[in-house]
Structure 1
Amino acid sequence: MVIIFFTGLNLFECNIRRQGKIGYITGDKKEPAVDDPAHSVWDAKNSMVMTWLVNSIDEDISSNYMCYPTTKELWDNVNQMYSDLSNQSQVFELTLKLGEIRQGDDSITKYFHSLKRLWQDLDLFNTYEWKSTEDCNHHKKMVEDDRIYKFLAGLNIEFDEVQGRIIGRSPLPPIGEVFAKVIREESRRSVMLGKKTAAL
């Protein structure tokens, strides 16, 4: 989906900033003259950032972006094509994906981290300015509780018991503690299943 693709570009830009290579996509890191000894270093780093960018693009369309000479030209073209996508559309798409996720055949760890990746993407679009620390903490707790409910609701039926024990607590424990409790239940069930199989 194009919307998820553009979300990936937002994540790419954040990662590039952390790597200290943002100048290659903004154009601030100017290309030296070809006969300048610094040109080979610039060219190698430009190629590296371009490779990162192309690899962050969906395979279905990445081949369209292989012919640009500089990262900035590639970046500008991608943004021209997709920057009119609103944050609301991206948030909507991510929310739809969250609504569809269930544990299914996945382990608890894989299921939880699938949710966590989408939550992290959503967090990129949530920029709040709080008037007080109390309001901020209250909002964070509400968001965390919502995520706990989502995680528990998507578990397979065999985790109903641990799900009930967690929901029965007030206030809800932190999400890390909830994950640990469910993991322990998964391990316990795996051991019990192994004993039953050995007994047969």
Structure 2
Amino acid sequence: MTLSLRIKNKLGFVDGTIPKPHTNDQTSADWSCCNSMVMSWITSSVSDDIRRSIMYLETAQEMWSWLKVTYHGNDGFRVYQIRSQLRGLKQQGSMEIGTYFTKFITLWNELRFYRPSRVCKGCEKYEQEDCLMEFLVGVDQWHRHTINTILAMEPLPDVYYALNRLKLEESLRPKSLGHYRNR
């Protein structure tokens, strides 16, 4: 929902950065129209029971706040689940590197949603390195040589470079060898 609101430049109606103007303000009618539109989007995206409980609120911000207080549980449990899934995620059996990567990056991006990037000098570099390391930990050890080559690079590449190197290695593997288990 926040993505849609951000795209339409209406996120401010729910987060309070576009406050309701005074009734005698000439922008009041425009604000009211936009607020009603956002309220309509919110009510159309929730169940009937929830809709009935928020339909009499006066602003999109009130609706959003109510929904957040009522349904936005503790993120700690979800972060714990994601981290557990990441630690248990391995490239297994005949799983191709692209399939493993898709599962990995989905979890990684969800974790970033709950734990947004820190704004500090060098933080982005460390977050990229963390992503790369976490990804490589789950890669099948048949790729050991490529993993070592990637880890020896200065500076460390991003996870997408590693993915492409591993996909290349996988594509060059002789088909007669089948998948690389037990090597």
Aligned residues: 161
- Report the equivalent of 1:108: 97
After TM superposition, give the deviation of residue 179 of structure 1 in Å: 1.2
Report the TM-score, using the length of structure 2 for normalisation. 0.61
Q: Per-residue displacement from partner, 1:116-175 (whole Å, max 9, x unpaired)?
A: 233333334335343xxxxx23x3322222221211111234323322332343442232
Distance between the aligned counterparts of 1:117 and 1:13, measured in 2?
A: 18
Identity of aligned residues (%): 21
Residue 97 of structure 1, aligned match among 62, 74, 85: 85
Deviation at 1:46, TM superposition (A): 4.7
Kindly indicate whether the alpha-carbon contact (under 8 Å) linking 1:94 and 1:118 is maintained by their aligned counterparts in 2: yes
Listed one character per residue, the Cα deviations across residues 36-88 of structure 1 (whole Å, up to 9, x for unaligned) are: xxx9998776544444x44xxxxxxx675354548947644431223462x54
Matched with 2:71 is: 82
Match of 1:65 among 37, 42, 50: 50
Unpaired segments of 5 or more residues in structure 2? 21-31, 179-183
**What is the alpha-carbon distance in structure 2 between the residues aligned to residue 44 and residue 143 of structure 1?**
38
1:141 is aligned to 125
* Residue 29 (structure 1) shift: 9.7
Higher helix share: 1
Unaligned runs of 5+ in 1: 1-11, 31-38, 55-61, 131-135
TM-score, normalized by length of structure 1?
A: 0.57
Aligned mate of 1:164, from 141, 148, 154: 148
Query: CA–CA distance in 2 between the matches of 1:78 and 1:175?
Result: 36
Q: CA RMSD in A?
A: 3.9
Asked whether the 8 Å contact 2:13–2:35 carries over to 1, the reply is no
